[in-house]
Amino acid sequence: MVKKILITGASGLIAGILIKHLSNNSNYDIYGIDKHIELSTRYQLENTPITEGQQPILPSKEKFYVCDITDENQLSHIIEENQINIIIHLASLLETETVEKINHINCYGTKILFDIATKQKHMEMIIYASSVMTVFGYLENEPYSSLAKNIQPKKLLKKITINDSPIPSHFNSSFEAYCNSKIYSEELARQYSSIETVNVKFICARFGWINTTDDITSDLYDWSDKSIWCSHRDLCQFIDRILEKQSILKKFEIYFVSSNNDYCWVDMDNCRQDLNYVPQDGAKWKTT
């Protein structure tokens, strides 16, 4: 049976990577929504050279919808009319926006989506794009803060697990709001999954840093980024594993998703055990 997958935030970086990858698999029928058809602000933020007229990678025209995640009526119509089975929820405002806008889209919008999806008989699973930024507060204290200063730790770092308390960054109010929006949405997913009448599975993927160039060799990057970098190939592998093992997954799971980086400080053991996820790439600390 072909699975119908809806990707929210379809004009974004991660969405483009996944749309290109999943569209090559005949087992999946890919749909997308976004409130615009231009490249997301992520590209400009990373100062990636953009050619004139460059467009995001989107599903075919008849399977892409211009839709705001908070438009309950249109969103419900899209999901129900197309009998969507799986949602990969990527739509999110970055920490460059105001606190009010972040809360509106990332929290309120996500609640609308979860509420609609869990009422659909054909819905099977939601893969929620959380973030390693749910635990970025740990980087503000030793021994993890040395990474932000590009100081090589004297020993391997104790890894933060999914059982450790989330701690948002306090860098600024918008940064903290973004972290808290991911923490909020994870808890929201947990609550929905605990409802006995809800049969939808919720997978919260705490993605590491996924950059536009898929390159981590530049000295311009701090080790707070490099240590949690996730390559495009490892991102696609993770999604493949989730989709392949959907039937045996629990109703609610959280996974850290990064590449095999030196001094990676988040624990991916459950990702390896449950999904056989083995990162193929990684950032290495250069020794002189």
pLDDT at position 81, please?
97
pLDDT at position 44, please?
67
DSSP string covering 192-233: HHT-TT---EEEEEEE-B--TT-----TTS-HHHHTTB--HH
Q: What is the helix (H) or strand (E) element at residue 189, kind and residue range?
A: helix 173-193
C-alpha closest to that of 192 among 122, 77, 111: 111
pLDDT at position 92, please?
95
Domains and CATH numbers, the chain: 3-275 (3.40.50.720)
pLDDT in tens, the chain (288 residues): 899 999 999 999 999 999 999 999 999 999 999 998 888 777 667 767 777 677 888 999 999 999 999 999 999 999 999 999 999 999 999 998 999 999 999 999 999 999 999 999 999 999 999 999 999 999 999 999 999 888 999 888 999 999 999 999 999 999 999 999 999 999 999 999 999 999 999 999 999 999 988 999 888 788 999 999 999 999 999 999 999 999 999 999 999 999 999 999 999 999 999 999 999 999 998 765
pLDDT at position 273, please?
97
